Chains A and B, each alone.
Chain A
Amino acid sequence: MSSETGKILTTDGIPLEESLKQAEKKNKIKAFLLVAPLLLFLIITYMIPIGDMFSRSIDDKMVTNMLPKTYKAMETWDGKELPPEEVFEAFYLDYKILVKNKTAGKLQTQLNYEKNGFKSVLKKLARKQKKFEEGNYKEQIMKVHKRWRNVEYWRAIKRRAPSYTYSKYLKGVDMYSNEDGKVVQVSEDRRIHRILWIRTVEVAFFVTLFCFLMAYPIAHLLATLPMKYSNLLMICVLLPFWTSLLVRTASWMILLQQQGIVNDFFVWTGLVADDNRPEMMYNKTGTYVAMTQILLPFMVLPLYSVMKTISPSLMRAGKSLGATPAVAFFKVYFPLTIPGIGAGCLLVFILAIGYYITPALVGGASGTLISNQIAYHMKSTLDWSFASAMGLMLLTGVLVIYWIYNKLVGVDNIKLG
């Protein structure tokens, strides 16, 4: 804006526009400084770990680092026929160092993943290479084992060259890339992850559904009861919320186990025989019950906050206009609670899909979820890159759900309170 006819000047003679910009700049810097600690905190505790997780999940430099000369020499090899002498020489030199450092075992394992039978060939080479003479390594190596004459084995080494791999992600869905570089499923008896994924989504879905079915009437009651009763009910909803998760999970164990209170009651009433007590714990039932109870407040609160804003005269208006109570409910009341339903369901679903402690404690074998598998790989097998890969898959899944939700309902329709 530079109208020549007359800029407005401040009393100091500075153009008003500039002086305003200066004043605003100060404010902007101040505002930024105020949020900077939070931003920094988010970057350090959220963005960096996720970035690290990602790089860890695709990181595959192990073989590349072990065979630096070989891969350099292989750059010019087209992979059609046996590689030239330089490659053999480079491989010999690399392998010699590995054998000397006693780290050849890792390479053997890694290459065996690529091509079955590689391990024994490499082991034999480790023994024989001590007697190698200088020059013409191609002949010498090929003499050690006839498989070195098979171009497949050299291709397997070359295939292992990229420093990045998505094999962990494939493993997460029970697949792998075979010798031909094709992505195939693992044998049927080893497919455990896919079951876990499906179970996780299933549990999260049904927990969300149960929470919704239970929370809707509670929230409605909360929003419509007179103050003195609704406060009491609110405390009943919040009290478990304030109680430690472990305490609540443990209470469910006490209640639901085979010798637990609920089973005792069933036996006492004669509903079930003493020697035929149903298993309600350490299986999916236990996971459902405990998770629904724990996540219920996350559904009640957004629903309540939305229902509170709906004027009771709307239902009355619906009825006075001739709608039966049911029609008035579904045409008038229910559509107005959708923002709350969306918020509650999204919240519960996302919390449920990554739930760890409760399924770990009460899930047993048939009630554990993908998060338990991730924890297992982090703590027991120490396969962090696989754990990272599965964690990221979970995160991606949540983002996809969020995206679908946004498409269907619109995120701006969410009301958390």
Chain B
Amino acid sequence: MSKKADFVKFDKVDKSYDGKVLVVKDLNLDIEEGEFVTMLGPSGSGKTTCLMMLAGFETPTNGEIFLDNNPISNIPPHKRGIGMVFQNYALFPHMTVFENLAFPLKVRKMSQEDIEKKVDKALSMVSLGGFANRMPGQLSGGQQQRVAVARALVFDPAVVLMDEPLGALDKNLRESMQYEIKHIHENIGVTVVYVTHDQGEALTMSNRIAVFNDGKVQQLSSPDKLYEEPVNSFVAEFIGENNTFGGEVSEISNGTCKVKLEKGEIIANPISVKSVGEKTTVSIRPERALINPKDKMDNNQKGKIEEVIYHGDHTRVRLNLLGNSEFILKVPNSSQNLDIKLGNEINIGWNSHDARALDPK
């Protein structure tokens, strides 16, 4: 059984609530069968709306959504067979854990025997074996979350949607739940569409991430590509940390370009600039700029240390570099004795390949 590359397909989907503003604009998105795709973006970027359209609680204003090649816009939510985990779990408070899990099976008229078997299996999958007779109110937040996940999976849906399911949990629990959900996904191979505004969560769990902003997918790629090779300055800014220089392209040739800043000039990797004179924002990841580099690098600048913040495993250094007083460096906390002291001038170097000249902000 080969996996379908467009198991879930958004085809030119628009959505507007008030007829004036499009919250989702011309969305095209293909999700492969068995894939874990995260929709990541700031609040109001349209990611939850997309999820709701897929679940059937909102209808697209334009365009069509396909599930396994069938258009689903006119299918009511209860006939789509899509599991969903809600932000606040949405467990039925008047039913026991068992009844909650049995609910989707009962409405599908399964036999009592099958129901018990499936519920048992689903509960042990989320390691809540002995909790079948508890009421949701008697469970901790993490346990409730696991029940919600189990309930969304118990009826073997083709796709499971998760709408910021870990938002209400504390940090440690959230991290362990991330791994748990990831492992469940790996084990049963269900297609998961996950919505979050937490980039750490997205990077940890996903096969691919769709970064949303302003109703559009800015970039859809794997976590590492997203981080290493952002295609525009929104993505570079949104994912991870980022040092930026605004300037103008003064020379462009052969895979590199020169960008003229207010003070000085840097060599960069032209991603979205095509010609001389274009405005651009150059983005450099903090860990790609090195202090006193041993190897030769094609960018070498002097900067003044303005702030040093100790972070345990690394130290953050804020510099004033080429007129940018917010230039951040991450220095690994090794025995190497560098001359990091407030007010010192130090040499900073980076490769032009890592300085990505993107669209201007």
Beta-carbon contacts under 8 Å, B75-132 to A: 76-84, 86-88, 90-94, 103-104, 107-108
- Contact indicator A323/B107 (Cβ below 8 Å): yes
Closest approach, in angstroms, between the C-beta of B324 and any C-beta of chain A?
A: 45
Cβ-based interface call for A377 (8 A): no
Tell whether A327 pairs with B107 under 8 Å between CB atoms, given A313-B87, A317-B86, A321-B151.
yes
A320: CB under 8 A from chain B? yes
Given A311-B88, A311-B90: A320 touches B76 (CB 8 Å cut-off): no
Q: Which of B83, B92, B108 makes the CB contact (< 8 A) with A320?
A: B83
Majority SS at the chain A contact face:
helix
**In the assembled complex, B57 has its CB within 8 A of some CB on chain A:** yes
**Quick check: is A119 within 8 A (CB to CB) of the other chain?**
no
Decide if B55 touches A320 in the complex (CB within 8 Å).
yes
B55: A residues at CB distance < 8 A: 316, 320
In the complex the two chains form, is B90's CB within 8 Å of A323's CB? no
A336 to B87, CA, bound (A): 20
Q: How large is the interface on B (under 10, 10 to 19, 20 to 34, 35 or more residues)?
A: 20 to 34
Contact A314 B77 (CB under 8 A): no
Say yes or no: is A220 at the interface (Cβ < 8 Å to chain B).
no
Within the complex, which residue of B79, B92, B94 is in contact with A317, where a contact is CB–CB below 8 Å? Answer: B92
The answer, yes or no, to whether A161 is at the interface (CB within 8 Å) is no
> Chain B CB within 10 Å — which of A311, A319, A322, A336 has the most?
A322
- Which B residues are in CB contact (< 8 Å) with A322? 78-79, 81, 104, 107-108, 155
* B103: chain A residues within 8 A (beta carbon): 318, 321, 323, 331
Q: Digit string of A322-334 for contact with B (CB within 8 Å is 1, else 0)?
A: 1111011001100
Q: Given the complex of chains A and B, what is the CA–CA distance between A311 and B88 in angstroms?
A: 9
Q: Are B84 and A317 within 8 A (Cβ)?
A: yes
Query: Is A319 in contact with B94, judged by CB distance below 8 angstroms?
Result: no
A335 at the interface (CB under 8 A from B): yes
Bitwise interface map of B from 52 to 66 toward A, beta carbon under 8 Å scored 1, else 0: 000111000000000
Distance in angstroms between the alpha carbons of A183 and B76 in the assembled complex: 66
Q: Across the interface, name the chain A residue whose C-beta is closest to B104.
A: A321
A316 with B92, Cβ < 8 A, contacts A321-B155, A322-B81 known = no
- Chain B residue numbers with a CB within 8 Å of A332 are 92
A328 touches B78 (CB 8 A): yes
Complex partner residue of B88 from A313, A321, A327, CB under 8 angstroms: A313
A336 and B90 in contact, given A316-B77, A319-B76, A322-B108 (Cβ under 8 angstroms): no
Identity of the chain B residue whose Cβ is nearest the Cβ of A309 in the assembled complex: B93
> In the complex, which of the residues A317, A323, A336 has the most CB atoms of chain B within 10 Å of its own CB atom?
A317
B:144-190 near A, CB below 8 Å: 151-152, 155, 161
- List residues of chain B with CB within 8 A of the CB of A318: 92, 103
- Complex alpha-carbon distance, A348 and B80, angstroms: 42
CA gap between A174 and B95 in the complex, in Å = 49
Closest-CB distance, B18 to chain A (whole angstroms): 12
Question: Which of B80, B83, B92, B152 has its CB near the most chain A CB atoms (within 10 A)?
Answer: B92
**A320 and B84 contacting across the interface, CB-CB below 8 Å:** yes
Residues of B contacting A331 with CB < 8 Å? 103
The contact size tier of chain A is 10 to 19
CB contact between A336 and one of B78, B79, B93, B152 (< 8 Å): that residue:
B93
Q: Are A316 and B90 in contact (CB under 8 A)?
A: yes
| Smallest beta-carbon distance A177→chain B, Å | 51
Known pairs A311-B88, A313-B86; A320 contacts B77 (CB<8 A): yes
Closest CB of chain A to B147's CB: distance in Å?
Answer: 12
Task: Give complex CA distance A324, B92 in Å.
Answer: 16
> In the complex, what distance in Å separates the CA atom of A317 from the CA atom of B87?
11
Residue of B nearest to A334 (CB): B94
**Among A311, A314, A319, A335, contact of B78 (Cβ-Cβ < 8 Å):** A319
Q: Give every chain A residue within 8 A of B80 (Cβ-Cβ).
A: 320
Interface pair A324/B86, CB less than 8 Å apart: no
* Interface contact A316-B151, CB-CB below 8 Å: no
A311 to chain B, nearest CB (A): 6
Minimum distance in angstroms from A415 CB to a CB of chain B: 13
For A271-289 the 0/1 string (1 means CB < 8 A from B) is: 0000000000000000000
Which B residues are in CB contact (< 8 Å) with A321? 78, 83, 103-104, 107, 151-152, 155
The reply to whether A313 and B155 contact each other, CB–CB distance below 8 Å, is no
Report the minimum CB–CB distance from A62 to chain B (whole Å): 58
Residues of chain A within 8 A (CB-CB) of B108 are: 322
Q: How far is the CB of A322 from chain B (nearest CB, A)?
A: 5
Tell which of B57, B107, B108 has the most Cβ of chain A within 10 Å.
B107
Return B14 CB to nearest CB of chain A, in Å.
Answer: 22
Q: A325 to chain B: which residues have CB within 8 Å?
A: 76, 78
In the complex, what's the smallest C-beta–C-beta distance from B245 to chain A, in angstroms?
A: 45
Among A318, A320, A325, chain B packs the most CB atoms within 10 A around the CB of: A320
Q: How far is the CA of A316 from the CA of B85 in the complex (A)?
A: 10
Select B92's contact among A314, A319, A327, beta carbons within 8 Å: A314
Which one, A314, A324, A327, contacts B90 given CB within 8 A?
Answer: A314
21 contacts between A and B (CB under 8 A): A311-B88, A316-B55, A316-B86, A317-B91, A319-B57, A319-B77, A320-B161, A321-B103, A321-B107, A321-B152, A322-B78, A322-B104, A323-B78, A323-B103, A323-B107, A325-B78, A327-B107, A328-B78, A331-B103, A332-B92, A336-B93
| B interface residue numbers (CB < 8 A to A) | 55-57, 76-84, 86-88, 90-94, 103-104, 107-108, 151-152, 155, 161
Other A-B contacts than A320-B80, A324-B107, 18 sampled, CB-CB below 8 A, are: A311-B88, A311-B90, A313-B87, A314-B90, A314-B92, A316-B55, A317-B90, A317-B91, A318-B92, A318-B103, A319-B57, A320-B56, A320-B82, A323-B104, A325-B76, A335-B94, A336-B93, A336-B94
